[in-house]
Chains A and B, each alone.
Chain A
Amino acid sequence: MNLNRRKTIALGAGGVAALLGTAALAQTAAAPAAAPAAPAAPATPAASAAAAKTTDQWIAEFTGGAEVTDGGVALTAPEIAENGNTVPVSVAAEGASEVLMLAPGNPTAGVMIAKFGPAAGKREIATRIRLATTQDVVAIAKMEDGSFKRATANVKVTIGGCGG
């Protein structure tokens, strides 16, 4: 079996006094599965004040009413969520300066706006989101040339249980 991070940490923890530091690092690193070359800290617009904002309002605000074209954004999400409470998603868009992600089927549609600084080596962000129900997750990228690109991914949230 290949040595992976979980095993490396377990091995590291096996013999060394640096155990606490390693373990703590593991804990903090665990929550968001950060993409390589993580961009500037993502904003979290889904705060209570913004709760009433609809999907259309989010998009209108983000784009200023500009046209949004499909393509040019890679939105990666599982076809069926293993756990609707923590669904791994990632967005990559070469040449993007900002990314808006929406979960229109959630009580509050806004998930995040991520801003990439000019030094960001890779215009990609990965995180985990909560999905209330089966829905099309939407990602819109604002490109450095001012245009907007969109991708959607259908994620099914199922009660499961009868696989044979």
Chain B
Amino acid sequence: MITKREFLQAALATSALWGLSGHGNWGRLAAQQALSQDKLLEFEDFGNVTLIHVTDIHAQLKPVWFREPEVNIGVGDARGRPPHVTGQDFLTMFGIPPGTPDAYALTHEDFVALARAYGRMGGMDRVATVVKAIRAARPDSILLDGGDTWHGSMTSLRTRGQDMVNVMNALGVEAMTSHWEWTFGQDRVKEIVDTLPFPFLGANIFDAEWDEPAFEPYKVFEKGGVRIGVVGQAFPYMPIANPRWMFPDYSFGIREERMQAVVDELRETEKVDLVVCLSHNGFDVDYRMAGQVRGIDVILTGHTHDAVPEPVLVGETILIASGSNGKFVSRVDLDVRDGKMLGFRHKLIPVFSDVIAPDPEMAALVDAERAPFKAELEEVVGTTESLLYRRGNFNGTWDDLICDAIRSERDVQIALSPGVRWGPSLLPGDPIRREDIHNACSMTYGQVYRTEMTGETIKTVMEDVADNLFNADPYYQQGGDMVRVGGLSYAIDVAAPMGQRISALTLDGGEAVDPARSYTVGGWASVNEGTEGPQIWDVIEAHVRKLGSVRLEPRTTVTVTGA
């Protein structure tokens, strides 16, 4: 494995660019054991352009616990490269001492103890404080939202995204792109977009019937005498990963040639000095795209929920990965002169909710959005004695709880649960409130189906999902994690080709899965129209109420090789 320093030097050696990151400041802060708002926000102004990036907030209005992944395997060229570095390796690569606030914010190491020491992260009122402070220092900055904003909570589901729209409008977002927004249906998306005071960008969103661009591809900003072109790239695999029938008039895709054409248009026709891509491709897809498309200076990457404390250079393009759930805000200062980006200074600002003061106006707005649902949201359904988390390539304890609920409430042998990357954590001893359950499963297609599948079909499904995650070509990766399973253990060789990764499928109790036999299977988040069954949050709530107190140690049902 290469160290952070070697990694950066290798990247910088091939580039005329030079840059600094605020990461060194974190280390010093930790050494001083002194977290303060001023120090978290400390930033020596640089250059003449400032970008502020938030992404994948998943409707988390309030501060959350969010455990970063323990397992995040990179395949092919991405092996061992950020963000596919976790835990102690991550700390070593970036020179972060264990036990420090940044170790807590960025890794799973010693998560529960550090969470108790450093508190929840995020909260849109705290994010507002950070954004306002940056704007006070740099009035000409641009605030960009990478999408997955309107979805992920009970209030966003009930208001069909309106709570988040109101909050992001108040925050002063200047452009956004999209993914889960579309799961409210294309009519709702269009209804909201018509009211937005900023563009809903997507160079790769096409009219499915006419095969021509359907949304604004870019917006040109004039800030401090610099012309900045911001291109939007929506999630490419929208109609595959989410229900196509909810947005039948639109087609997505990576559309690399289209991206090149738009970048060329910005440079040649719009005469911009700087090209920024606000992307929901996912990190590895953006990494490859950065090497294929000429002329992008900065990619603000989203979708795969990675928080990387340093910009990653690909040629002369910098990739900025700003995490998820409101845990981080990225500030990127750039020196742009005569149509060239000459240097950068960057800081991934961790939003420690106990350190950064809530912005009073935003706090009031968040409370107003929650008020109509407050009693329902906060009703305690049970408690957990164990850490509940999801993020990681394979089952987390939240997923195990969900699979247990499906098996028990729907009386099935096998449960399947989608490997989404959203869903905050709960600490041992936390009450499980209704909204905590929603945070782990809120969606517009949450029906829990009950069906029969042959052993062969189950393997086919798992092979299909595994290839979406572990295909060595990032353009074939959809950015979710492996489907979670209950009542089933298996082995996976991530390096094997599609169709040969999954083996040793075994039922609880040790009986091998027979390809020819039928098994009862329950699951949620089916992309098929007309799926019937109770909503997943109701299934989980019923299960938790019966348990009263949840105790779930991490299970060893998946054996991984080839990593």
Contact = CB atoms under 8 A, between A and B. Distances in A.
B241 A163 contact: yes
Given A2-B216, A4-B214, A159-B461, A82 B480 contact: no
A82 B253 CA distance: 8
B408 to A, nearest CB: 22
B465 interface: yes
B489 interface: no
B216 A164 contact: no
Contact of A6 (B209, B420, B465, B468): B209
Contacts of A4: 207, 210, 212-214
A161 B527 contact: yes
Given A33-B210, A162-B419, A164-B480, A82 B244 contact: yes
A132 to B, nearest CB: 15
Nearest to A78: B253
Contact of B240 (A5, A6, A158, A164): A158
A164 B420 contact: yes
Nearest to A77: B253
Given A2-B216, A6-B207, A83-B244, A161 B239 contact: no
A123 to B, nearest CB: 18
A19 B32 CA distance: 73
B476 A164 contact: no
Contacts of B498: 134
B237 A1 contact: no
Interface of A: 1-2, 4-6, 30, 33, 76, 78-83, 88, 126, 134, 156, 158-164
26 contacts: A4-B207, A5-B207, A6-B209, A33-B210, A76-B257, A79-B254, A79-B473, A79-B475, A80-B237, A82-B251, A82-B253, A83-B244, A126-B211, A158-B464, A159-B460, A159-B461, A161-B525, A163-B235, A163-B238, A163-B241, A163-B242, A163-B479, A164-B418, A164-B422, A164-B480, A164-B481
- Across the A-B interface, give the 4 residue pairs with the lowest CB-CB distance, nearest first: A163-B241, A164-B420, A164-B480, A160-B240
Given A80-B478, A158-B240, A163-B179, 14 more contacts: A2-B213, A2-B216, A4-B207, A4-B214, A6-B207, A78-B253, A79-B473, A82-B252, A159-B461, A160-B478, A161-B527, A162-B418, A162-B525, A164-B420
